[in-house]
Amino acid sequence: MAFQEVATSQALVEGQGIEVVWQGNIIALFRHSGAVYALDGLCMHQGGPLAKGKLAEGTIQCPWHGWKYDLKTGNNSATCQSMLKPYCVREQDGKIEIDFDA
Ligand code: FES
């Protein structure tokens, strides 16, 4: 386990997402219904910024053309196809951390 801090808890507001960059990778963090999620940050359709999308019922909807992804798995919600990498994320001591080795 090698959790790395990627944001402060304060930076991630309920019902919203933020984008972080870690070693060249764009990652979207979300706080939805009290839980924190982390997925690849760019939509698989045309690269829309998922951190600016709409959260609803366990999914994130891309702000550009509306593709939806499951927050836990990164799967496309319409096809169940695996699309976005989900990261192992935790929140502890006011920090949001990802285990990039998981
Ligand atoms: S870029 Fe995300 S749906 Fe088109």
> Consecutive 10-residue runs of the chain (102 residues): their mean pLDDT?
93 97 96 97 98 97 98 96 97 97 89
Query: What's the confidence (pLDDT) of residue 102?
Result: 87
The total number of structural domains that make up the chain:
1
Q: What is the CATH number of the domain that holds 80?
A: 2.102.10.10
Query: What's the confidence (pLDDT) of residue 17?
Result: 98
Query: What's the confidence (pLDDT) of residue 14?
Result: 97
Q: Nearest residue CA, atom 4 of ligand 1?
A: 65
Ligand 1, atom nearest to 47 Cα: 1
pTM (global) more than 0.85: yes
| CA distances (Å), origin 75, targets 61, 78, 93 | 12, 9, 30
| CA distances (Å), origin 57, targets 62, 77, 89 | 14, 11, 19
Quote the ligand 1 centre to 2 CA distance (angstroms).
32
Ligand 1, atom nearest to 50 Cα: 2
Measured between alpha carbons, how far is 89 from 3 in angstroms, rounded to an integer?
8
Query: What's the confidence (pLDDT) of residue 1?
Result: 60
> What is the residue range of 45's domain?
3-99
- Residues with beta carbon inside 6 Å of ligand 1? 43, 45-48, 62, 64-67
